[in-house]
Copies of this chain bind each other. A is one copy, B any other.
Amino acid sequence: MRIEVINTGTELVLGNTLNTHGAWFGRELFKLGLRIERQTTVPDGDAIRESLSEAVSRADVVIVTGGLGPTSDDLTREVTAEVLAIELIMDQAVLTGLEHFFAIRNRPMADANRKQALVPVGADVLPNPNGTAPGVYVPPRLNGRGHAAVFLLPGPPRELHPMFREEVIPRLRALAGGEVAAGCSELKFTGVGESDFHQGIDARLAEIEGLEIGYCAHVGEVDLRLIGTEEARAAGREIALAEFGQFLINEDGRSLEETVIRLFAAKGWTIATAESCTGGLISSRLTDVAGSSAVFTHGFITYANEAKRDVLGVDEALLQRHGAVSEEVARAMAEGALRVSGASAAVAVTGIAGPGGGTDEKPVGTVWLAWAVKGGATKAIRGFHPRNRKDFKLAVSQGALDGLRRLVLE
């Protein structure tokens, strides 16, 4: 089944807005075992005509986003009807819904909004609970110019994403028939690279019948996606975990920080952080999680040596003897954060983010991480991430959070 995606929006081609639709559709379709053969971005207005005409002549499914609004530049509905040689009619139910949308918000409905109720004759209206523009589905039998099924969907992600899940996926499954994969599993790993997977298990995964695999690599994280029947996915999962099980973050699609917060919350434990080189990124990631206030209580960003000494009670002699980036100081920071905060566990990081500050012995990218727990022994490890400043911070925060996760599991 050949699928093409067309994104309309002048802001996309001017670079004012990053087009995230392409990657998002790619991932969602891949989970169904489907692929995008071509993705096209065009400005608002009439430019869609040309690309839509071409796409419907080639593809089995064409998904168009954007251009369903009320302004004069929103022409997706009109151009699609013309290209597919179908008439547009005013859909009374949609019109009533639009009037209701404005009435309950106490706003007058502009005349321009009426055109949002225009629908190609016989097409399905896809409800939009999050905006004024309903989606449209034109099944292949209505297409007067080819065999393609056409979806018209709203541009804003918060309208598009729920509509895709509720209205588009079931129709794609029906269109694809046996082509759609039975399901998708996602396993997130940290502490291991994509090339380790290629060398370690790719060949064995390839031997499993009916299994497709994909990787999504981020800084400090590799997501392995297994697509296929339940049986094929189980076989793939077994191989992956036998080799890399110790690096598994989760299989539920959550972020590492959310996993940490949930694990700690379930135990009733609290966290404090003591950050030097990450400058608050670890605590910022933890507090991105709704409900993190039940777990995260204190964060100390001790960027200056005086802060390490005065706020966390790190011994000046340790700083002098070993330097701020050392196992001894990392341990003292973690234990200091634990003592000052009274939390159940504390993580500390101290390293050289660069571009300056490196030495032969401790080059840019060097970091020490330490974890202290109430009534337990403090652990420390050395890391080395010779990357740009932001990626260094991200990689270190990933290691720090993963260490917190392991504390709970051990």
Stretch at the interface among A120-128, A167-175, A280-288: A280-288
Stretch at the interface among A75-83, A214-222, A229-237, A244-252: A214-222
A379: interface (CB < 8 Å): no
Q: State whether the Cβ of A24 lies closer than 8 Å to any Cβ in chain B.
A: yes
Instruction: From the candidates B43, B304, B340, B389, name the one contacting A311 in the complex (CB within 8 A).
Output: B340
Query: Could you say which residues of chain B place their CB within 8 Å of the CB of A290?
Result: 354-356, 389
B35 touches A13 (CB 8 A): yes
CB of B284 within 8 A of CB of A14, answer no
- Most B CB contacts (10 A, CB to CB) among A19, A37, A284, A300 go to A284
Across the interface, which residues of B come within 8 angstroms of A277, CB to CB?
287
B residues within 8 A CB of A14? Answer: 26-27, 30, 35-36, 214
Q: Which of A145-153, A177-185, A291-299, A327-335 contacts B (4 or more CB under 8 A)?
A: A291-299
A38 touches B30 (CB 8 A): no
CB neighbours of A30 from chain B (8 A): 14-15
Is the pair A16, B216 in contact by a Cβ cutoff of 8 Å? yes
Chain A residue total in the interface (Cβ 8 A): 75
User: Does A341 interact with chain B (Cβ within 8 Å)?
Assistant: yes
| Most B Cβ at <10 Å: residue of A16, A19, A38 | A16
How many whole Å from A346's CB to the nearest CB in chain B?
Answer: 13
Q: What residues on B are CB-neighbors of A17 within 8 Å? A: 23
CA gap between A270 and B321 in the complex, in Å = 26
CA distance A119 to B307 in the complex (A): 58
| Contact in complex: B38, A39 (CB < 8 Å) | no
A-B contact pairs, 22 of them (CB 8 A): A12-B39, A13-B26, A13-B36, A14-B27, A14-B30, A14-B35, A15-B22, A16-B26, A17-B23, A18-B23, A19-B19, A35-B43, A37-B47, A38-B47, A275-B299, A281-B284, A284-B284, A287-B301, A287-B393, A288-B389, A293-B357, A298-B304
Query: With A16-B214, A278-B287, A290-B356 given, can you name 13 additional A-B contacts, CB distance below 8 Å?
Result: A13-B37, A14-B36, A16-B23, A16-B215, A16-B216, A19-B22, A37-B43, A273-B301, A275-B299, A281-B287, A288-B390, A299-B299, A307-B341
List the interface of chain A (C-beta within 8 A of B): 12-20, 22-30, 35-43, 47, 51, 54, 214-217, 273, 275, 277-284, 286-288, 290-293, 296-304, 306-307, 310-311, 340-342, 353-357, 389-390, 393
